[in-house]
Amino acid sequence: MATKKEQERNEAITYLRENVKLVPGDTVYTTVRSVARSGMSRTMDVYVMRDNEPWRITYSAAKATGHQYDDRREALRIGGCGMDMGFALVYDLSYALWPDGFDCIDPMNEDRSYRTGCPSSDHSNHPRDMFTHHDSGGYALRHRWMG
């Protein structure tokens, strides 16, 4: 029997896959709402673009990743500093959605020339290998900051 937290996580992942239809290669946008005085945590909103409109997925992203949802600020709370926390959040979300990795969305051509459509770092870290499946799901989504 799954705990309430596990059930909420599974429901959020299902919602993001089936209703939001997140797929590898999608861009996820983040914006900082507030930063703690200590600088050690921040609240953020998370969006995807659908039909040229931003679609807020903050609550589902919090539940899927296990990050806290701050009801007072109505934003996802993420701890940490000294790195790009928006990227870290999108990496966590991507890994939650594809924990076993993902199929390459734009593999190399037969002549081993590169294509640029796949967001995985495998292509730049292992230039001689042709990939059809990436073991780390964390790089399936792209990250961009919103203004």
The Cα 132–Cα 42 span in angstroms is: 36
Q: Does residue 113 lie within any of the structural domains?
A: no
Residue with tokens 């609240």: 43
Looking at the domain assignment, is residue 83 inside a domain? yes
Residue 107 lies in a domain: no
| CA-closest candidate to residue 141, choices 109, 96, 100, 77 | 96
Task: Evaluate whether residue 64 is within a structural domain.
Answer: yes
The answer to whether residue 114 sits within a structural domain is no
pLDDT attached to residue 127? 58
Q: Which of 70, 24, 12 is nearest to 44 (CA)?
A: 70
pLDDT at residue 112, rounded to an integer: 52
Percent of the chain having pLDDT more than 90?
A: 70
Range of the domain at 68: 4-100+141-145
Residues 6+ apart with CB under 8 A from 69: 58, 59, 62, 63, 75, 76, 77
* pLDDT at residue 81, as a whole number: 87
Domain count of the fold of the chain:
1
pLDDT, residue 98, reads 96
110 versus 96: which is more confidently predicted?
96
> Tell me: the pLDDT tens digits for 109-135?
555 555 566 777 776 666 555 667 788
Q: What is the pTM of this model?
A: 0.86
